[in-house]
Amino acid sequence: MQPNIVSPAQPRKTQAAFTLIELLVVIAIIAVLAGIAMPVFSYMTRRSDEVTCASNIRQVTVATMLAAQDNYGNYPPLHGFSWETGSVWIADCLNPYLGAIKGVSPAKVIHCPAAQKNSKQVWLQDQQYPGYKYNVRYAQNKQPLVTATNAMLYFDTTWPDWSQDVLAHSPGSGAYLHVSYADGHVAVMNYKDYIAANTAGSDEWNGDFFKLGWLK
């Protein structure tokens, strides 16, 4: 009979642990990477909002042009806000035309994504109001009296008495707003030019903004 051979006890392996210094180094690296990533993420988010806004305002403009074809060539009598003249809400009028554009959600298209994040103008988050202002003075129930390139239809919601830090796009010295025209193209107007065309504290039609955008 073979004798039972008892294997010698295996030595217990000890697990290596991080030292305090190593943990601090890892935490410091994570903090540095986060510090690098956050500005990049913020920039990408802002750029995404700007591109989406430009796309939205163009689609709203195209929808308005389609609505004009059904209104004997005249732009519809819209009002964007309750105090503006007009008989039809932008959303009510344009939803059928926006819905006809493949992949478009009408409720989202009439709002600037950046403006809805504006904590200083929280009313912009109200779904009742569109995020773009209609050129109510010269557009509604009218046809362009000049070349379509000069005929302004919509622009980012803003007022002359707003400081540039509350504008939706590139706040600071590069602040600007989107402007769309009756030929379908979208351009930008920087904050300085916008203020130069308006008197602070007044609505746009009291200054030169509409006159410059829709020439008689």
Q: What is the pLDDT of residue 204?
A: 64
Q: What is the pLDDT of residue 54?
A: 92
Q: What is the pLDDT of residue 2?
A: 56
φ/ψ (deg, to 5) at 87? -115, -10
Q: What residues of the chain score a pLDDT lower than 50?
A: 215-216
Q: Please, what is the end-to-end C-alpha distance for the chain in angstroms?
A: 117
Q: What is the pLDDT of residue 57?
A: 93
Q: Are 175 and 150 in contact (CB under 8 A)?
A: no
Q: What pTM value is reported for the model?
A: 0.74
Q: Are strands 176-181 and 152-156 parallel, antiparallel or unpaired?
A: antiparallel
Q: What is the pLDDT of residue 31?
A: 72
